Structure 1
Amino acid sequence: MSFFGPPGGTGPSFDRKKYEHLTMAIRQTVLERARNRCQKCSTKFGPSVEPHFENINGNRKDNRPVNVRALCGNCYKEVEERMAKKKGFIGGLRKAFDKVPVDFKK
């Protein structure tokens, strides 16, 4: 068992309010796990490349270290663009049409 509770974040010791905010301790844990590199392209973080943090499951209130990954600015732009497509009226329509099966054989 780690400092942040059991793996997977379930069980009696899991406290949702504890991980509601992305604290410096959680950021440091994520950066140490990533060996101070982007977890997508392996760019090393430094003074000119600062880390950005993504919630893997998309829930911004779930900041367990297993759900947060460190990304460089370029990789994080892709995440922001993907999230922007999901938001708003057009994103809602896109999501609805993606679920509709299309049968071209009729």
Structure 2
Amino acid sequence: MAARFKMSNKGVGQLLRSEMVRAEMVRRAEVIKSAAEAIAPVGGPGDPHPGHYKSSFSVTSTLRGGRRRDRATATVTNSSYYARWVEYGTEKVPAHHVLLRAAQAGGR
């Protein structure tokens, strides 16, 4: 005879806010950060800030993330002022999609 399982919404909420889940989210974010750093473009000889974009990735985490602020999350960001243009491109510069490609390749 199989045992019955009854889910507890309170218990699921506690699990989603647990340090264990936060630690796993941070681990995955660090993998994505490493992948992003590996594929980040570095400017050529005329670039006044070569390597600035590549060195500007960081990971943050919280136990109060998500749309409802009810779960552990970790986020990879780039603090370079031109990170948006590197990611999405401009009319003169092609999009590199660094974080998109890093997330697709790495967060496992």
Same fold, judged at TM 0.5 (above):
no
- Answer 1 or 2: higher relative contact order, Cα 8 Å, separation at least 6: 2
Larger radius of gyration: 2
TM-score (ref. length: structure 1): 0.30
More strand by share: 2
